[in-house]
Amino acid sequence: MLVGIGETLDDRINSLQLIAELHEEYGHIQEVIIQNFTPKPGTPMADCPPPTDEEMMQTVLIAREILPEDVTIQVAPNLVDPYVLIQCGATDLGGISPVTVDWINPEAQWPSAEKLREMLRDIPLKERLPIYPQYLKKGWYSDPIKDLVLSLSDEEGYRKEFV
């Protein structure tokens, strides 16, 4: 869900309710990404203001209220303070990588793991695989990758730490 592109609060609520209904019917939505719009020079919305921190916090709070508990809320820590959004109900920070850029927002580099730990203060940072732990535990992966998935995951379904 891209926040700040001209939609209203009611539009956001309606979208989240539809996503929740689809998940309740089919049980297949792992995550909802809530990302703030960032204006880019030379684009039709270059002069539009980005959403405020308060709008982002409100959107995450509403999403956590509307979405089923097993649907993860993901936010981009290179675009907005992840600590406050985690306090509002976000539980995932996306595909942070020290070797790839954010292709949509290349001017906003991903924070390093060390910087991210600083930003999160007392909240522990856990790395996951591309499949969320609850779905890994349910065996929602194909047989050809089973051995790889199991070799990389710990007992909680997160990425195993290698020393």
For residues 123 and 162, give the distance between their C-alpha atoms in angstroms, rounded to a whole number.
21
Q: Domain-by-domain residue ranges, the chain?
A: 2-125, 127-163
Give the closest residue to 156 by CA, choosing from 124, 128, 133, 132. Answer: 133
Task: Output the average pLDDT for the chain.
Answer: 93
CATH number assigned to the domain covering 2-125:
3.20.20.70
Percent of the chain with pLDDT over 70: 99
Which distant-in-sequence residues (6+ apart) come within 8 Å of 22 by Cβ? 28, 29
Tens of pLDDT, residue by residue over 104-117, are: 888 888 898 899 99
* Residue pair 125/117 in contact by the 8 Å Cβ criterion: yes
Q: Is a pLDDT exceeding 90 seen at residue 21? A: yes
Residue 97 has pLDDT above 80, yes or no: no
Dump pLDDT digits (tens) for 30-53: 999 999 999 999 999 999 999 999
Whether 10 has a pLDDT exceeding 70, the answer reads yes
Has residue 98 got a pLDDT over 80?
Answer: no
Distance (Å, rounded) from C-alpha 85 to C-alpha 107? Answer: 21
pTM of model > 0.75: yes
pLDDT, residue 163, reads 63
Q: Read off the pLDDT of residues 131-144 as tens digits, 9 standing for 90 and up.
A: 889 889 999 999 99
